Chains A and B, each alone.
Chain A
Amino acid sequence: MSRQTLKKEPFNLIISGVGGQGNVLLSAFVGEALVNEGFMISVADTFGVSQRGGSVTSHIKISKKTLYSSVTLKGKADVILGMEPVETLRSLVEFGNPDVFVIVNPRPVYPSGGVAYPDLDEVKKSIVKLSSQTKFVSATEEALKMGNPIYANIILLGSLVGAGILPISKESMMPILEEHFPGKMLDTNIEAFNKGMELAGH
């Protein structure tokens, strides 16, 4: 049983993005850290064909006492980590509520097949309207500065931890990054993680 406290029972985290952005990796990292902290969790990732460029979400239900089903109830998200603005809004519409906390990467991933993307400012406005606690983290931009858009998700992970809304700390995250990224890759990923923490105002 964890020593850390939970703001709510269960506590619901949703990670939203587009197939290929790496939501499964993120949910695995967060999940592992939570289990190491002694929480009981259920993680539901979108698998299958949606991973080819469709909308994907990972739902993580966190509890101190029991295992819940993995999918969040309508209107019951506590935190949404958005890797893409339209996908963040999509999750907010279904799972948001006046108390939800949002961290969002404002870089759009445009849908293919000639589907129009809405005006980005309007999307951002809607997000803020549905969550008064929204933090924009320019993860893709920062990642491109580091030389590879792939770092965006570790930057976002840093922001999620840095925002202090989950019962996990940098200390609980480090061994997981160390295990996952061998050699030189580790340094760059720690750099990305720290960047994310910094952007979250940590």
Chain B
Amino acid sequence: MSSIAMNKPGTTVLLMGNEAVARGAIEAGIGVAAAYPGSPSSEVLPAIAGVAKEMNIHAEWSVNEKVATEVAAGASFAGIRSFVVMKQNGVNVAVDFIVNLNMTGIGEGGMVIFVADDPGGMTSSNEEDSRTITKWLDNPLLEPSSAQEAKEMTKWAYELSEAVNLLTFVRGVTRISYTKSNVVLGELPERREKKAYFPELWDMYNPKKSKFTSGPFPIYHKPLHEKLEKAREIFETSTFNRYRGPENPDVLVITCGACTSYCTEAVDELRAGDRVGVLKLGTTWPLPEKLVAKHLSTTKKVLFVEEMDPFVEQSVMELAASLLPTTCDLTFYGARSGHLTPYNEQSTNLVINALMDILGTTYQPRDLTYDREAKEAIKIVPNRPINMCPGCSHRATFWAVKKALQLDGRKGFLCGDIGCYSMGFAGPGFFQSRTMHAMGSGTGVANGLGNLKHFGFDQPVLAITGDSTFFHATMPALVNGVYNNSNFILLIVDNSATAMTGFQPHPGTGQLATGEQATVVDMEGLCRAIGAEVKVCDPFDLDNATATLLGMMQQDAGVRVIIMRHMCQLVKDKRKIPRKYKMHVDSEKCLADTCGCDMLCTRLFGCPGLMVDRETGKASIDEALCVGCGLCTDICPANAIIREEAIG
């Protein structure tokens, strides 16, 4: 989307929240942007990278979020405004560096992290509120309520960051990142050819002079708290905090972020605008206490509406406690009272329900007879489980794993990891993955399991990792395994992309975030240099992949790596690589229910390209979905699925 770089202030364009954030950073005049892909934040960096050249920005996919934050800090130290983007899990990775960075302070260039949280975990392996982390880190926090505000806040965050000399967080959620809406563009900065320069001042006992090394710590910790107080002062008058409603509302709703529009919609839907006021906070940490105290004095009932942790709720209640006895007749509603949940997403309907209870009103969204009929109709609607794409190479890998483990017969198992292949713990991966936690953790856990021989442990241990995940966090675990003489097999499923998050390049792909050519980091050579035995297979050569894996399993010593290399089907589609086979099912050979295979192809193997013909009960190919990878031919015990070389 080229509108990101459009220099027409005042123009209205349709932008996804993530693109608006990118635009905000560009309007702020950033010189460096670094990120690791993670939905719902994945689209921010590509939007910046797309205009990096013309705007003189260095934009990179870093190998992980800690390195990304360090890259940005380097720029800040040398006076350049820098930007880091990550999802909630990424904050966990970056935190170790940030704690230390807060002690020294940033450089002259403002530094901002945009983190996208994922209430409900729609695109995540967990549900986590990163705001709580920014609080204990002592960093200022802004929460946008729309794409427009996401742009404005990202831009303003640089002024704040420089004013208080602290890394500043802008925290969005999935609904902000992935909602497209009208955004009015601001001005783009002049292309500056600013000289980056690392300052020379150094005096260990003067935190104002010492740059970028910290200690003695109390001397450095104190100014950190002073900086935060300064941020609080600035927040007291920020226009990102707004109130809509009567002077003395029966109920004061305190909200932030995506929930803001849920609250105003709920008030409108209930026609309760004369009874309910909405205080929307954009600056949620540190809390603008004077502003909030003023509003608390106007009401007797307060409802908190926010997603996940009762973050604002707790800060405001702490404030109310400090204001006793003036606040003693306030009643609080929210997560603590059970009116809303401290997990999952909120919605306008959930806010309506909470308000109905507090106000004692009723609400009927639609005709009651219709409602009954709808509830009747839902009974025939089946669930739709997620699946790997037709032609996905992971399906082949998991099939080989399943086969090899069966043939080996020692109750071996696979430790899972994060990516499309996470689906390995469920039907699409034939339930092969038995653990799944953080990036790279499958290999770490395998390290531990593989060193239990002297406790009689004799099950083969496999771990799986994606190519991008390998560089992010698996590498140290592999080194650890070799060094400590653990016993496991690492499968690297190398499909040439960070597929789950949108096919971003990584160090093994030979491409930079900007699309330019990069040095290929040789994964195979790297594993060998670490000291592991390495074999490479194409999982679509199913027999060979299974046999290789089985052979390696039976060596039963040391750390062995098997790289399963085959391009992600969607990357093939993007590159317009033609299909390999034309598929059909020989209905003479497919014996359906009488075969004894129990419809292995559709029920167990489960490629979406296969279906059961309603009339005959036999397998057939869904030509709208099949991509002609040919894999199913190899799994049908009756040889009924026929592949022919596709021509043209």
Contacts and interface: CB of A to CB of B under 8 A. Distances in A.
Interface in B365-388: 365-367, 370-371, 373-375, 377-378, 380-388
Interface residues of A, number: 63
Interface in B587-612: 599, 602-604, 606-608, 611-612
B14 interface: yes
Residue from A43, A52, A109 having most chain B Cβ neighbours under 10 A: A52
Nearest to A51: B386
A126 B380 contact: yes
Interface in B480-500: 500
B384 A130 contact: no
B213 interface: no
A144 B624 contact: yes
A27 B14 CA distance: 12
B366 A19 contact: no
A64 to B, nearest CB: 12
Contacts of B386: 19, 49-50, 52-54
Contact of A74 (B365, B373, B599, B624): B365
Nearest to A33: B14
A130 B373 contact: yes
Interface string A73-95: 11110000000001101101110
Nearest to B377: A126
Contacts of B367: 97-98
A87 to B, nearest CB: 8
A107 B623 CA distance: 12
B349 interface: yes
Interface in B239-264: 258, 261-262
A113 interface: yes
B388 A52 contact: yes
Nearest to A88: B381
Contacts of B232: none
B427 A75 contact: no
A89 B375 CA distance: 11
B160 interface: no
A71 B175 contact: yes
A112 interface: yes
B178 A47 contact: yes
Interface string B203-222: 00000000000000000000
Residue from A35, A47, A90 having most chain B Cβ neighbours under 10 A: A47
Given A67-B182, A113-B606, A48 B123 contact: yes
A130 B181 contact: no
B283 interface: no
Interface in B344-401: 347-349, 365-367, 370-371, 373-375, 377-378, 380-389
Contacts of A53: 384-389, 608
B349 A90 contact: no
A122 interface: yes
Given A67-B146, A73-B349, A149-B624, A96 B370 contact: yes
Nearest to A53: B387
A31 B385 contact: no
A45 B122 CA distance: 12
B174 interface: yes
Interface string A145-176: 00001001000000000000000000000000
B628 to A, nearest CB: 13
A63 B137 CA distance: 41
B385 A111 contact: yes
B39 interface: yes
A182 interface: no
A19 B428 CA distance: 15
A129 interface: yes
Given A112-B428, A115-B385, A130-B370, A48 B380 contact: no
A26 to B, nearest CB: 13
B380 A31 contact: no
Nearest to B43: A47
B39 A47 contact: yes
Given A54-B384, A73-B265, A75-B371, A114 B606 contact: yes
Residue from A42, A43, A112 having most chain B Cβ neighbours under 10 A: A112
A140 B325 CA distance: 68
Interface in B156-194: 174-175, 178-182
Given A89-B381, A98-B367, A115-B384, A109 B181 contact: no
B122 A48 contact: yes
B622 A93 contact: no
B522 interface: no
Contact of A54 (B39, B378, B385, B500): B385
Given A48-B39, A73-B349, A114-B606, A43 B181 contact: yes
Contacts of B500: 49
A190 interface: no
A80 B597 CA distance: 40
Interface string A59-75: 00000000111110111
Nearest to A63: B182
Contact of B603 (A31, A114, A129, A140): A114
Contacts of B265: 68-69, 73
A123 B380 contact: yes
A171 B381 CA distance: 38
B427 to A, nearest CB: 4
B384 A18 contact: yes
B365 A110 contact: no
Contacts of B174: 47-48
Interface of B: 12-14, 39-40, 122-124, 146, 148, 174-175, 178-182, 258, 261-262, 265, 269, 347-349, 365-367, 370-371, 373-375, 377-378, 380-389, 420, 422-423, 427-428, 500, 599, 602-604, 606-608, 611-612, 622-625
16 contacts: A43-B180, A46-B122, A48-B122, A48-B124, A48-B174, A49-B423, A54-B384, A67-B181, A73-B265, A75-B371, A86-B384, A89-B377, A97-B370, A113-B606, A117-B382, A119-B380
Interface of A: 18-20, 27-28, 31-32, 35, 40-50, 52-55, 67-71, 73-76, 86-87, 89-90, 92-94, 96-98, 107, 109-119, 122-123, 126, 129-130, 140, 144, 149, 152
Given A69-B348, A93-B381, 14 more contacts: A41-B180, A49-B122, A53-B384, A53-B386, A67-B182, A73-B348, A98-B367, A109-B625, A110-B611, A113-B428, A113-B606, A115-B382, A126-B380, A144-B623
Interface pairs A-B: 8 shortest CB-CB: A48-B123, A75-B366, A69-B261, A53-B387, A114-B603, A149-B624, A75-B365, A113-B427
